[in-house]
Amino acid sequence: MVEEARAFVAANLDRMESTPHYSVGFAILHHGSAAKSLLTQWWTNECVCLQFVGQSEFAGPPKFKPAKEDLMACAYELIAIDFERRAWVSTVMAGRPMEAYLEARLPDALY
């Protein structure tokens, strides 16, 4: 699943490259109860997070395709998104170096 996710992100990097950005972001790979989801997010315009979501069928080998445009995230994925938002606000938006953001880590756990 990780290999397919990497390939999907690489194939869609032009979405990020077509926007002004900081060359940083995060991805969430989630084998949920109804589908496999891949959320790719990147920072732009100081305080804006853009997102591109791919999904694959729940069963069988993963094959990510663009998700419905109105899909944002499930409650579990929002935990990681909230962590990244807080890390961005407390580091880059607070004037700290980008390295401080890159060093922030969501603790390993079941969320």
pLDDT digits (tens, 9 = 90+) for 15-33: 889 999 999 999 999 999 8
Spatial separation of the C-alpha atoms in residues 72 and 86, rounded to whole Å: 18
Instruction: Write the CB contacts of 36 (distance below 8 Å, at least 6 apart in sequence).
Output: 1, 29, 30, 55, 56, 57, 58, 62, 64
Spatial separation of the C-alpha atoms in residues 26 and 85, rounded to whole Å: 11
69 confidence band (pLDDT: 50, 70, 90): confident
Model pTM score: 0.89
